[in-house]
Amino acid sequence: MTGRRLWVPARLRPGDRVAVVAPSGPVDPVRLARGRQVLTEIGLDVVVMPRVLNRRGHLAGSDAGRAADLQEAWCDPDVRAVVCARGGYGATRLLDLLDWPAMGAARPKILLGSSDVTALHQAFAVRLGVASCFGPMPACETLADAEGPEPASLAHLCSSLFAMDMPAPVAGGQVIVRGHAEGPLTGGNLSLLAALCGTPYAMRAQGRIVLLEDVGEDPYRVDRMLTQLLQAGCLNGALGVALGSWVGCGDPMGVLVERLAPLGVPMIAGLPIGHGSPQFTAWLGADAVIDTESCSLTCLFRDPATAL
């Protein structure tokens, strides 16, 4: 990924077909039905791939089956976006099973997902050169709660997905290092980024803004994973750091500041991106801006036929 910009797929229009896949953990059918209805109500033609409700232990079916659904959805010319039902665990197991040349021959489209889907975001960037969407998923609480989707999260997702809108800046709660940074956004879930160290899909922050978030990790584990990224050189040359949510992580801010502030780049925290509610959307691979005056992260868009 270093030194090249990613192709930002064309954003959606009402009536576009999107395919739901399950690359990671098993999917709750009740939540999936609610989330599918939400996507339908915002104007999308939603198809659910045939193996989404499969289950094999802690996975949504076999590795081969999950990879097949993902590849078929990506290569279908009628599908304009591939939407991951949920995270959990298992996306890294698919990376050696996908036919990357076949997927590279298909028209680029939106990949939406977060958490464990970070592995796919990294792989699609490296193998396909495609930017992708880090945001809420249809079989997760943010969109599929029994009381309805969280309104701010849904609104921001729509403005990020649809061509007629521009996503609003995502406001954080704390400025750690002042300054202004602009460049392509990379990163995602810290646990997955640490797990990808030493693989072809390791994050390279050179010339990029880094987004980091996690869930259910004690501060000492956050420290260990940050140290791994630093020692592996994954954070070398970063332009800025944007810290998302740290749900169930105790109080990791001391560790985050200690390990990341010495990078000497603009750094903000408290962005509602990652886990919890609200859960806003970020385009990994698209240009973004950190503005510490407003303590915000803004994703930018250009004509996909030109710059990216």
Annotation says 150 is catalytic: no
DSSP code of residue 279: -
Angle between helices 253-260 and 219-231 (to 10 degrees): 20
Q: Are 304 and 180 in contact (CB under 8 A)?
A: no
Set 153, 213, 217, 245: catalytic member: 213
Set 24, 115, 153, 191: catalytic member: 115
Please state, as a whole number, how many other Cβ atoms lie within 10 Å of the Cβ of residue 302.
12
Residue 232 DSSP SS3? coil
Residue type, 206: Q
Set 114, 132, 160, 275: catalytic member: 275
Tracing tokens 């990078």 back to the chain, one arrives at 263
DSSP code of residue 55: -
What's the Cα-to-Cα distance from 78 to each of 72, 277, 283, rounded to whole Å? Answer: 11, 32, 22
Q: Where are the alpha helices (DSSP H) in the chain?
A: 29-41, 63-75, 100-105, 118-128, 141-144, 151-161, 190-195, 219-231, 253-260
Annotation says 115 is catalytic: yes
| Tokens linked to 199 | 């693989």
Distance CA 15, CA 293 (A): 39
Annotation says 275 is catalytic: yes
Distance CA 243, CA 85 (A): 24
Q: Are 202 and 233 in contact (CB under 8 A)?
A: no
DSSP code of residue 148: -
What's the Cα-to-Cα distance from 2 to each of 19, 129, 151, rounded to whole Å? Answer: 30, 11, 36
Distance CA 143, CA 155 (A): 11
Active site residues: 115, 213, 275
